[in-house]
Structure 1
Amino acid sequence: MRILDTHLHLVYPDRFTYPWLSGAPAINREWTSAAYFAEAVPLGIESALHMEVDVAEKDIEAETDYVLTLPRIVGAIAACRPESLDFAAQIERLATKPGVKGVRRILHQAPDELSQSALFADNIRRLAAHGLSFDLCVRHDQLPIGKTLAEKAPEVTFILDHCGVPDVTGIGLNPWKAYISEIAKLPNVNAKISGIVAYSGADWTVETIRPYVEHVIESFGWDRVVWGSDHPVVTLTGSLTRWVEATWEIIRDCSEAEQAKLLHGNAERIYKVL
């Protein structure tokens, strides 16, 4: 079955600046489209949406323009700064690029207050008029404020990244489990089965991550979940191949229709991939 990867990071240090990568030496190097698809295509991954890589602000739009020229990249989720007074102008420019499907502002490493201002919420609401989604990247303890933001913008489609970033090696399922159940009650929020192995330790197994993946799917339902690799971050505790194999093991007994929704169908609808 074909897979549409909704969360691929590509790194081109010869073109763009990535300030945060200096603190992540294990992946602080070039990660190209060609190298990714050499491993991905044999696994059934035919295409991908590029997820912004938190480049320096001066490179945000150039990153988006470049990745949209690459083979098998069927869309991009661009970086944005909803806390900025210039946000409206940025979104106007991004909306003219046919391949831009949505935007993201990384919040899991930002102060909680950043996403709670009136300006931030007002700017997020602007996305609806342009048909753009917002990828919501918050930690497990920030899920309540993520829910508050989604409630303030009911006309905007949200995609919760990385299963809500559970603390798998720390406090575990609770209170993450209850937070997921609550945010899933919002009809404008979807969830991305991605990133979880990065928070599960180097010795994770399928049974380590199964309860988290299954709870997200149970909470959101088969029509509101998508799949992402989070490559190359996934290589910190494994590999793309291992993550794909683990995904198949978890959904092995699900129907073919359910598998198709998770692996490509929902993503094509939610991100408007034609």
Structure 2
Amino acid sequence: MQIDAHQHFWHPARGDYGWMPKDDPVLSRPYGPAELWPQLQAAGVQGTILVQAAPTVAETEYMLGIADATPWVLGVVGWVDFERPADLAEMRRLAQHPKMKGLRPMIQDIPDDGWMLREDVQWAFRAMCDLGLRFDALGFPRHLANFLTILKRYPRLEVVVDHCMKPQIREKSEAHFRHWAEGMSRIAGETAAVVKFSALITEADADWTVEDLKPYVDHVFAVFGPERVMWGSDWPVCRLRGEYADWRAAAERLTEGLTDVDRALIYGGTAVGFYGL
């Protein structure tokens, strides 16, 4: 079974997508299952993980409603307010839904890079361990050291690093690559985290090539191994740099030298195991 381990649906009129530009021709419009399904079929993908795009419990409810009505949406990664301990009740309630798989605080958008280390948010990490909810780690390379601290503090927490931690490929900087690579190597070697092979094209130049992505992908495969890597589209955000089929084709070129078994893990098996599909 082939899985897209990271995609989004949204409707800007809901009003809680604070990150979204108001007039962006790609992002600032509704996206729903009817538009994605033909693209999944063309790529041979049978199921997806639907991931939060707004920091509200209401959006999590919206996604679970879509998942209830859409058989191929196999799991949802939602949101609760880590700064509000009373949201433990929300976390417990949401965890009872059969398609609720994990949570994702929008750490990349939080001004304080040390936010995840604050004492007042630790209850949420402990509760996720107790409830069996996975943690989608969304950040930038500058967050790598703090994520490593959290992952080692909570070894029972099941963690996936979103988008290879968003290396800034467009910078074409050896120092940046080295910092990112060392941080990812430590997470791979010192924790049990897995990683999403996703969203790399949106961190590259508009005229990106497969060769631009290859050093980053090769490093992730080398340090994590295919059994700890899962492919995702990051649709529709990926449309800032290419259509679904463009990123899928690039990913297939980047994995063409792997064995059939390794490719089966990257394009489905790892996600099935991690999210309990």
Pair in the same fold by TM > 0.5: yes
CA distance in 2, matches of 1:237, 1:64: 25
CA distance in 1, matches of 2:57, 2:183: 35
Identity percentage of aligned residues: 25
Deviations 1:123-147 (A, max 9, x none): 2121122111000001011111111
Pairwise CA distance, 1:46:
1.3
* Partner residue in 2 for 1:146: 147
Q: Is the 8 A contact 2:85 2:123 kept in 1?
A: no
* Partner residue in 1 for 2:79: 79
Pairwise CA distance, 1:122:
2.9
Q: Is the 8 A contact 1:125 1:155 kept in 2?
A: no
Pairwise CA distance, 1:187:
3.1
Q: Is the 8 A contact 2:214 2:254 kept in 1?
A: yes
Question: Aligned ranges for residues 171-190 of structure 1 at < 5 Å?
Answer: 171=173, 172-190=176-194
Structure 1: which 5+ runs fail to align?
none
* Partner residue in 2 for 1:160: 161
Output the aligned Cα RMSD. 1.6
Among 194, 198, 213, the alignment partner of 2:198 is 194
**Counterpart of 1:112 in 2: which secondary structure?**
coil
CA distance in 2, matches of 1:216, 1:64: 30
**Counterpart of 1:150 in 2: which secondary structure?**
helix
Aligned structure 1 segments of 4 or more residues deviating by more than 4 angstroms: none
Greater alpha carbon shift after TM alignment, 118-127 vs 193-202: 118-127
Pairwise CA distance, 1:54:
1.4
Task: Give TM-score, length-normalised by structure 1.
Answer: 0.94
**Counterpart of 1:34 in 2: which secondary structure?**
helix
Greater alpha carbon shift after TM alignment, 222-231 vs 117-126: 117-126
CA distance in 2, matches of 1:162, 1:89: 29
Question: Aligned ranges for residues 96-111 of structure 1 at < 5 Å?
Answer: 96-110=96-110, 111=112
Pairwise CA distance, 1:192:
0.6
* Partner residue in 1 for 2:262: 258
Is it true that 1:7 corresponds to 2:22 in the alignment?
no
Q: Is the 8 A contact 1:161 1:194 kept in 2?
A: yes
Q: Which has the higher helix share?
A: 2
Aligned residues: 271
Is it true that 1:39 corresponds to 2:39 in the alignment?
yes
Task: Give TM-score, length-normalised by structure 2.
Answer: 0.93
Structure 2: which 5+ runs fail to align?
none
For 2:247, give the aligned amino acid: W
